[in-house]
Amino acid sequence: MGYLDAQAGDGGRTAFRRAEKKYKLYKQSTTHKHSSCRSRMEIPVTDLSQVIDFERIRDGDGVTRLDHSDFPVYALEGHTGFFFIPRAVPHDQQFHWIREALTVFPEPPNRTSHSAHYGPLFGLWSSATKKRVLSPTGPENGDLFVRKWEFADPGDERKQEGVVSATALLRKLRWATLGVQFDWSKRAYDISIPYRSFPPALSELATKLASPAMNGDQFRAEAAIVNFFGPDDMLGGHIDDMEADWSKPIVSISLGCKAIFLLGGETRDDPPVAMFLRSGDCVLMAGPSRRCFHGVPRIFTGCKESDLPDFSALAMGEIKENVAILDYIQQSRININIRQVF
C-alpha cells in the first residue's frame, strides 16, 4: 500500500524520520575537505517504488475512488478524513495562483517569514525582478529594534552596511499568511493583528474543493499559510492543530514542481504512506486525519523530474513579469494551505 517498512534500529529514529531520510534530496559532497585529492561521496539512489502515484493507481495501493460529480476524488485506506483530488486546479488557473502567491500574497499587512526581522516589506517580488536591494533607513537603538528597511536601487546613496538583495530575500521566503493572521510566537490565531479579507476567488475555489469532506456543510475559508519551497527545501513532520473545529478540512493546493508527501499516524512511530504531489493536486485533511503527522521531505526539479505543466504559452508574448514567474517556478514549489479557523 505504499507504507514504509518500520524496521527497528536505524539509530533510534522514528518511522517518520526514517521515511524523511529515505526520500530526502542528497547532494554531491566531498569526503576529504582538506585533502588535495578529494573523493566524491556516491549519492544514494532513491527508491520510489513504494510511492503512491494517483495518476497510475496500482492494485494494492489501498486507494478507493469515490463518487463525486465535479471531479475525481480518492480516499486512502486507514486514513479516515483524508482525500486526494488529482489535477484539481486547471492548468491556466495554476499559473494565476502561482502569480498571486508571488506578487500579492507576501504584501503587507500579510505577514511572511521575513516580517519578524525586517518588518513589513512592500514590493518584494517587483524589487527582486528589478534587482533592487533592501537597505536600512534607520539606526538600531540599543536593545530596542527600531530600524526600518526599504527597497532601493543598487547604486542608491542610501546603500550602507546590512544591505541584502531582493533576489536573495525572495529565494529565502518560506511562508506568507492570508486572512486571519497566525501569531507564531503564541501558536495561535490573533484577530487583533491587522489583516486583509481573504481573497474571494481563492475562497470560492477552496469551498468547491472542500466539498468531499464537508458532509453537506459549506467550508468557510478564513486563513491560509502559503509555503514556498526551493530545490533543497523540505517540511518536517508536524500536525496542524490550531483550528477550533478539526472536522473541517485543511484544503492544501500544490503548485509548481512535483513533491513527495508523507502521511503518517498519530505518533511519529507510525509508518507513513508516501505519495506524489503534482502541480494542481489538492489534499484534504479532516476529522481523524487532522491528528496525523505529515510532511514533505523532497521536491523534484529539472525538466525530467518536476512534472511541471507547460506554462510557457501563458508566459510567451506576455509581460516580463510572467517570464520571471516561469523561471521561478521551474525550480520551486508553492503550497497553499487553506483553513476554517472558527
Indicate if 97 and 138 belong to the same structural domain. Answer: no
Distance of CA 155 to CAs 149, 163, 164, 168, Å? 16, 12, 13, 17
What is the number of structural domains in the chain? 2
Q: Which domain holds residue 105?
A: 3-26+47-109+174-339
**CATH number, position 327:** 2.60.120.590
Is the per-residue pLDDT at 54 higher than 80? Answer: yes
Tell me, yes or no, whether 85 lies in a domain.
Answer: yes
Tell me, yes or no, whether 323 lies in a domain.
Answer: yes
* Share of residues in the chain with pLDDT > 90 (%): 69
Average pLDDT score over the chain: 87
Q: How confident is the model at residue 166 (pLDDT cuts 50, 70, 90)?
A: very high
Indicate if 248 and 296 belong to the same structural domain. Answer: yes
pLDDT recorded at residue 283: 98
Q: What is the dihedral of CA 282, 269, 13, 174, to 10 degrees?
A: 30
Indicate if 94 and 162 belong to the same structural domain. Answer: no
Is the per-residue pLDDT at 6 higher than 60? Answer: no
Binding residues for Fe cation: 238, 240, 294
Q: How confident is the model at residue 5 (pLDDT cuts 50, 70, 90)?
A: very low
Indicate if 166 and 178 belong to the same structural domain. Answer: no
Indicate if 91 and 233 belong to the same structural domain. Answer: yes
147 vs 119: CA distance, rounded Å: 9
Tell me, yes or no, whether 38 lies in a domain.
Answer: no
Indicate if 142 and 254 belong to the same structural domain. Answer: no
- DSSP per-residue letters across 231-287: TT--EEEE----SS-TTSPEEEEEEES-EEEEE--SSTTSPPEEEEE-TT-EEEE-G
289 vs 283: CA distance, rounded Å: 11
Q: The whole model's pTM is what?
A: 0.89
Indicate if 160 and 17 belong to the same structural domain. Answer: no
Is the per-residue pLDDT at 204 higher than 80? Answer: yes
Q: pLDDT tens digit string along 66-75?
A: 988 788 999 9
Binding residues: 238, 240, 294
Indicate if 228 and 82 belong to the same structural domain. Answer: yes
Indicate if 261 and 123 belong to the same structural domain. Answer: no
